[in-house]
Structure 1
Amino acid sequence: MERDTEAHGAAADSTAQRRAGDDTAADRSRPPEERVRLSVGEPGDALALVQHTLGFMPEDSLVIIGLMRGTTGAHLRVDLAAAADDPGRLARWAADCLGGAGTDPGADGSVVLLFGDEAPAPPMNGEEALRPHAALCGALEAEMSRRGMPVVQTWLVGGGSIRDYHCPDAGCCPYPGQDVETAAHSVLNTHMVYRGRRALRTPTEITEAFLEDRRPLPAERDAVAAHAAPRRPGVAGPDSAEHALAVWECALDDELAGRLDEPEELHRWYLDHGEDLGAAASALADRQVRDALLVQAAVGVAPALAGLRVSRSAAPGETPGEALERLEGPSGPPPQLVTLVGEFEAAFLGATGRRPDWARIDALEALLSRLHHTVDDGVRVEVLAMVGWIEWARGRGSVAGAYLDRCRELEPAHGLADLLERAMGLGGICPWARVREHSWSYGRDGDAG
């Protein structure tokens, strides 16, 4: 199933001109000699910006790039078919994502790109209303203008070509347009490659890299797997669950400190800690431990343990907060416990209102990549769901969807996968990704000075 939302809260490392020749604000996030001035009115610059922001060139997609005082802001990707179903609703939702409540900073302009299968062609009888996706573009332009972030450029991409959506002059912009591959080799593309940005990969390639990278040697794998006995979800007792979280915390410390960077150190880590690592990995079959570990990486040990302990008393389908309300006592549950459980639930939903510890979340992803080869499919399905959550939290809905697809290959009806699918299907961009300073992208590769 294709996901229909993708968002990035951080500005790209460039200064975007709204039209060729327009003045633009300086990008103060980096020294003047490192700033790149580009024009979203140039097809190559617009394509390169999308490609490097999302990490891949999208297909069958609507992409909207927010502009803020001449620099690029939030980026939004939506399945084109879903966008066309109800253009008015989509336009209102997109405006909320780029400039509504909970989005900081909001956009003051926008650029639209439509990625389809067919190459741009003249409209029938020259009628503007008969252009592809005319209703969607009209709704977006009207709503974005009404909300103070007018669409300043629209590009139609398809059949290997890109063309200005609104240009009526075939002499100025011959059909089907410029070749995409040629146009994409812009100054922005060259600049980003030169500065060592990540290699461009599709969501499927990203999941494959995760599943293949850092494969342990047979001796290392056996050292962990010997202690990773198959477990049914929910069978870990309180002591073993808390011990597993403690082991994961030590492993996060090792990863963050760079103690697993060298092959010799990593080999010793597997062999010396095989029993603890095996138990900690297999404990992820307990989905309460799985959820607690995600929270622990994002906001720390105390909320994770509080949420885990309260979850143990929850009825089926009950949240930790709901379970907490049933705790008996003369004055109800302790205030500190209420606070920690609230933080647990907020972190799981990406709604803490502050930046999570992205370095620890990244470290958790690296550890899961190191260990998933040592466990059986009953645990591996939880690992795939966890990385799907991490990518959703980062605002990378397409990549999250690729992990959830792999998760569903092992377990078609998976609880966390279902939850994330519903959230993304309803346009549920993670709140962390909607605030620039809270987002995963902010500050990466020197993007925020």
Structure 2
Amino acid sequence: MSSIVTAADSAHFLALVPRLLGFTPSESLVVVPMTRGRSLGALRIDLPPSDAALDPVASTVIGMVCRVSGADGLAGVVFTAASARAELPGADLALALERSAHACGLEVVDILTVAGTGWGSHYDERMPPGGRPLVELERHLPRLDRDQHEGAALPSADTPLTAGVEAALRSLESALAVLCGIPVVDGSSERIDPAALEAGCALDDLPGLYEGCLGWDPANLDPMRTAILAWCLARPSLRDVALVQWATDRPGGDSALEAQRRWEDGEDYPADLASVMWGEGERPDPRRLETALALVRRVASSTPESHRAGSLATAAWLAWSLGRSTHADRYAEAALQIEPEHGLAEIVRSFVAHAHLPEWAFRR
């Protein structure tokens, strides 16, 4: 459902932008696609470097607006801590956006800047030197304290919990060596923990495991549940089944698992399932993705670093699928610090670097 922006003036509109995003952006360009005066959400990207060519940046941003169904215009806002005393920051970017928008037949309602010392519209010829006072924005609506980076940090995990997960991983590998003949990574052997045997048996119904774990409480995960998920997410073939299932449903997981088995036997992987990984197809239920992300973030924080890359990369994809590219990039970068050639982490970082969002992000 689209929001009706009933802004009495530009100050009121600017005060509403953080509400559209859920945070107050910093060093960002925010574009609000519109249709007949109604907002269709908001898109945020990092401000380009000062020496960057602005026309390609503007073309990318306007291209994203064009993908929003029904958009016939836009308003843009530059958020920066830079001073407005000499001139309103973002003027060159505003001109580039205007050129690209007009080339695509989009109306530019307004382009504004909220700087560190003032704010104003790039179309306001009566704007005073240094911009208008920031207090005019606060008068309409208090600004939110958090920015786009807020909430990206992993949950805290104490040392005993991490040690317990590490022990559970060793027990799980020993159990899988008995159950499935999977070699133990470090070659060691120890008494088989019955809980590890039970966890290993859960792999017989992988989609059942992935569906059931959406009902787990991330704040109270025991070491063995953490270990079984960390073990699965460290293996691309099993991880991809999880991502497809969490973005679709239990039958989608069954299909993804069967497709993986057939692919390993030499058959082509179905295009409709592969497209989910690229952000194409029907819009997922955001509640499933949110639940999965909260769970995987907890797994990543509780797992020893040497086993953490898979869950970090999974968290990166889930954050990206929800439109949180800043968070996604942070998780992917952390995964690559542990495993420099991690495939999924590299893919997500490429998505972010090229401002590629899921197709479903542009549909209501």
Normalising by structure 1, what TM-score?
A: 0.65
3-state SS, counterpart of residue 324 of structure 1: coil
Q: Distance in 1 between matches of 2:136 and 2:337?
A: 37
Q: How many residues align?
A: 337
Quickly say closer, same or farther: Cα 1:216–1:362, change in 2 above 3 A. farther
Distance 2:126 2:324 in 1: 37
Aligned residue identity for 2:146: R
How large is the Cα RMSD of the aligned pairs? Answer: 3.4
Separation (CA, whole Å) in 2 of partners of 1:429 and 1:370: 25
What's the counterpart of residue 152 of structure 2?
Answer: 207
The aligned counterpart of 1:303 is: 255
DSSP-derived class of the 1:155 partner: strand
Q: Which amino acid aligns with 2:147?
A: T
Question: Any idea what the Cα deviations from partners look like across 1:140-195, whole Å, max 9, x if unmatched?
Answer: 2133234332111111222242122232335xx4523222x6614524x59xxxxx
Letter in 1 for 2:71: A
In structure 1, C-alpha distance between the alignment counterparts of 2:50 and 2:237, rounded to whole Å: 35
Instruction: Tell me the residue number matched to 1:107.
Output: 71
Deviation at 1:296, TM superposition (A): 1.3
Q: 2:352 aligns with which of 408, 416, 424?
A: 424
Partner of 1:383: 311
Contact 1:68 1:107 in 2 (8 A): yes
3-state SS, counterpart of residue 76 of structure 2: strand
User: For 1:243 and 1:291, how far apart are their aligned partners in 2?
Assistant: 15
Residue 203 of structure 1: CA displacement? 4.2
Write the mapping of 1:14-413 to structure 2, written as runs, cut at 5 A. Answer: 14-16=3-5, 37-39=6-8, 41-46=9-14, 48-81=15-48, 85-100=52-67, 103-104=68-69, 106-121=70-85, 132-170=89-127, 173-179=128-134, 183-184=137-138, 186-187=140-141, 201-208=146-153, 210-212=154-156, 225-229=166-170, 243-252=205-214, 254-255=215-216, 260=217, 266=220, 270=222, 275=224, 278-299=227-248, 300-313=252-265, 324-325=267-268, 341-352=270-281, 354-413=282-341
Give yes or no for contact 2:79–2:114 (8 Å, CA) kept in 1.
yes
Structure 1 residue 392: Cα displacement: 0.9
Q: Deviations over 1:28-49 (max 9, x none)?
A: xxxxxxxxx324x422531x33
Q: Distance in 2 between matches of 1:312 and 1:240?
A: 21
CA distance in 1, matches of 2:45, 2:298: 32
Give the C-alpha shift of residue 419 in structure 1.
Answer: 1.0
1:176-217 deviation line (CA, Å, top 9, x unaligned): 3222x6614524x59xxxxxxxx7533443122x423xx589
CA distance, structure 2, for counterparts of residue 358 and residue 435 of structure 1 = 13
CA offset at residue 94 of structure 1? 2.3
Q: Which moved more, 1:237-246 or 1:364-373?
A: 237-246
Distance verdict in 2 for CA 1:95–1:64, change over 3 Å: same
Quickly say closer, same or farther: Cα 1:286–1:114, change in 2 above 3 A.
Answer: same
CA distance in 1, matches of 2:65, 2:164: 49
Matched AA of 2:273: F
Question: Offset of 1:227 from its aligned partner?
Answer: 2.4
Structure 1 residues 217 and 82 mapped into 2: Cα distance closer, same or farther (>3 Å)? closer
Query: Structure 1 residues 375, 217: CA separation in 2 closer, same or farther (over 3 Å shift)?
Result: closer
How far residue 52 of structure 1 moved from its aligned partner, in angstroms, is 2.9
CA 1:379/1:358 → structure 2, altered by over 3 Å: closer, same or farther?
Answer: farther
- After superposition, the Cα gap between the structure-2 partners of 1:284 and 1:88, relative to the gap in structure 1 and judged at 3 Å, is same
Amino acid at match of 2:306: G
Q: Check conservation: 1:244, 1:279, Cα contact below 8 A.
A: no
Higher relative contact order (CA closer than 8 Å, sequence separation 6+): 1
Specify the code of the residue in structure 2 equivalent to 1:207: A
**Structure 1 gaps, min length 5:** 1-9, 17-36, 124-130, 191-198, 314-322, 326-337, 437-449
Q: 1:83 to 1:387 in 2, by over 3 A?
A: farther
Tell me if structure 1 keeps the 8 A contact 2:333–2:349. no
Give the counterpart letter for 2:17 in structure 1: V
Cα separation, partners in 2 of 1:373 and 1:395, compared to 1, 3 Å: closer
* 2:189 matched residue in structure 1: none
Give the conservation status (yes or no) of the 8 Å contact 1:66–1:107.
yes
Partner in structure 2 of residue 34 of structure 1: none
- CA displacement at 1:241 relative to structure 2: 5.5
TM-score normalised per structure 2? 0.78
List per-residue Cα deviations over 1:67-119 (Å, max 9, x = no partner).
Answer: 1222211422223225973333333332221124xx32x31221111233432
Q: Is the 8 A contact 1:108 1:150 kept in 2?
A: yes
Distance change >3 Å, CA 134–CA 183, structure 1 → 2: closer
